[in-house]
Amino acid sequence: MALSATTTLPHSVDRVAAIFVNEEFLRHTSEFVGGTLESFTIDGDTAGAFSTTAVRTLPTTRLPDIARKFVGDSLTVTQNEQWDAPAADGSRVSNITMKISGAPLDVTAVQRLVSDGGSTRVELEGTVSSSVPFLGGKIADAAEPMVGKALNIQSQQAQAWLESH
């Protein structure tokens, strides 16, 4: 199942990228959806190429009942991001993978922070897949809107965060 989302934030790529890898912001977005940020690490210098790992525990209250029977009341999601060094125009690219413990789902995405005048266009494209024979497509189809919504919440909350900090 394909993920695709685009939004524009009226801030520079540097500011948007800094928020997307800010532990306090990640804690805020986790709590915004009723979860917790269990851990967050950055490997490397954020001025160049680097990677991050965020582990979150998230509630399953918004999942369909059939999915909640399999995964319980919460999920642990590990999100890894591999950030490229800035391009000549300041744009950034991060390759995202998400693993959801106890759920047979794999999420891969590419997030581009494109410099657009004084603003940043956040472009996200990816896929949700499941390794379960026969039912994998249905599981991925059911999960895709939730994953897409979670990734969109990050951009929406980044706008509010940037205005207030």
Fold of 2-164: Alpha-D-Glucose-1,6-Bisphosphate; Chain A, domain 4 (3.30.530)
% of the chain with per-residue pLDDT over 70? 81
pLDDT band at 151 (very low <50, low <70, confident <90, very high): low
Is residue 1's pLDDT more than 60?
no
Q: pLDDT value at position 47? A: 93
Tokens of 63: 């999942």
Is residue 49's pLDDT more than 60?
yes
Order the strands of the 74-83 sheet from edge to edge: 2-9, 119-130, 105-116, 92-100, 74-83, 50-59, 36-43
Mean pLDDT of 14-32: 94
Distance CA 56, CA 75 (A): 8
Report which of 44, 42, 54 is spatially closest to residue 99, judged by C-alpha positions: 54
